[in-house]
């Protein structure tokens, strides 16, 4: 997952709203959004990386949420372990925040940002293995550290640097989420059509393929031409076999029937990067928390 905007407890009627794009190599085997069971026996709703078995963004029936992005740098290779297992480790539900932190060896993974939440406990945190002051500098293994930050109510943006780094594409999506929150909070709880204002606004923001200006490009250690191609919210690089593979919207609204208090709708569009145009397949799931 390479671009996420999310609102936690920023509106009483909509305590969770997420808009996210996952960028990945087009030939990496992947299953779209669905319900599946972890090796621990815990159920999750998420897409699935069929190569390493983890995921990049998911929720559990008991109210846990986890979101992952990589940190970009100019050095090839990844860590010894798959970053996607960090998401499923939290969704399994058998560790709290302190336990999760204690279980992570920061030197075992490529650069990552991990946002975890327990909706019912009101616990949200960011964890990463890159220094927020210089996220694109890869530390020696013996100097790797895990950095953490508790998250309060608010609206956040995350891409391939660190939390709230003001990259143009992150700011665009975060602003779209901010301007959609009021509409999303008061729209009916049933799944809307594409004509709903908040729904249309976030879909448009996720499909935005306008690159940033050269003056606004970050310096992450990759070539300027690649930096330019990666600077749009929706990435399309078929010549490199890479692009935005899926887009996801998650919304929690009050549920009128007890004992569940909240209804959580997840809508994912998986994108097939054909030569002439991008085609999308829609999947949806609903949870009651």
% of the chain exceeding 70 in pLDDT: 97
The architecture of the domain spanning 3-288 is 4-Layer Sandwich (3.60)
**The pLDDT value given to residue 193:** 61
Asked if residues 69 and 4 have their Cβ atoms less than 8 Å apart, the reply is yes
Question: What interhelical angle do 197-206 and 168-186 show, nearest 10?
Answer: 160
Q: Residue 84's pLDDT band (boundaries 50, 70, 90)?
A: very high
pTM score > 0.75 for this model? yes
Per-domain boundaries in the chain: 3-288
Q: What is the mean pLDDT of residues 78-89?
A: 94
Q: Residue 246's pLDDT band (boundaries 50, 70, 90)?
A: very high
Measured distance CA(88)–CA(46) in Å, rounded: 10
Chain centroid to CA 232 = 16
Q: What is the mean pLDDT of residues 194-221?
A: 93
Measured distance CA(215)–CA(13) in Å, rounded: 39
Please give the helix or strand (H or E) that residue 228 lies within, else none: helix 224-229
CA angle 86, 58, 163 (to 5 degrees): 65
Measured distance CA(122)–CA(152) in Å, rounded: 9
Q: Is the pLDDT of residue 219 over 70?
A: yes
Tokens encoding 247: 């887009």
β-strand partners of 126: 115, 149
Tokens encoding 93: 């539900």
**The pLDDT value given to residue 191:** 72
> Tokens 């930050």 identify what position?
149
Q: Is the dihedral of CA 162, 236, 66, 182 positive or negative?
A: positive
Give the pLDDT confidence of 12-52 residue by residue, as tens digits: 999 999 999 999 999 999 999 999 999 999 999 999 999 99
């Amino acid at each position: 997952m390479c671009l996420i905007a999310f609102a936690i407890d920023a509106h009483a009627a909509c305590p969770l709203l997420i808009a996210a794009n996952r960028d990945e190599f087009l030939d990496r085997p992947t299953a779209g959004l669905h319900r599946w069971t972890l090796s621990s026996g815990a159920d999750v709703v998420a897409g699935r990386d069929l190569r390493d078995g983890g995921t990049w963004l998911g929720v559990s029936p008991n109210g846990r949420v986890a979101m992952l992005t990589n940190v970009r740098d100019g050095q090839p290779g990844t860590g010894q372990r798959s970053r996607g297992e960090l998401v499923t480790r939290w969704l399994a539900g058998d560790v709290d925040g302190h336990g999760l932190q204690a279980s992570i060896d920061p030197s075992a993974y490529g650069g990552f940002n991990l946002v975890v939440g327990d909706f019912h406990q009101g616990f949200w945190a960011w964890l990463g293995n890159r220094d927020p002051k210089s996220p694109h500098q890869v530390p020696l293994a013996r100097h790797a550290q895990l950095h953490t930050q508790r998250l309060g109510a608010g609206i956040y943006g995350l891409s391939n640097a660190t939390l709230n780094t003001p990259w143009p594409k992150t700011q665009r999506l975060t602003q779209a989420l901010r301007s959609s929150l009021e509409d999303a909070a008061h729209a009916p709880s049933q799944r809307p059509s594409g004509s709903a204002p908040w729904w249309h606004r976030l879909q448009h923001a996720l499909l935005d393929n306008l690159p940033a200006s050269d003056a606004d490009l970050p310096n992450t250690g990759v070539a300027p031409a690649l930096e330019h191609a990666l600077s749009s919210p929706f990435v399309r690089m078929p010549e490199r076999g890479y692009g935005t593979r899926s887009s996801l919207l998650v919304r929690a609204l009050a549920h009128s029937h007890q004992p569940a208090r909240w209804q959580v709708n997840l809508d994912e569009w998986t994108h097939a990067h054909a030569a002439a145009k991008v085609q999308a397949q829609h999947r949806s799931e609903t949870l009651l928390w």
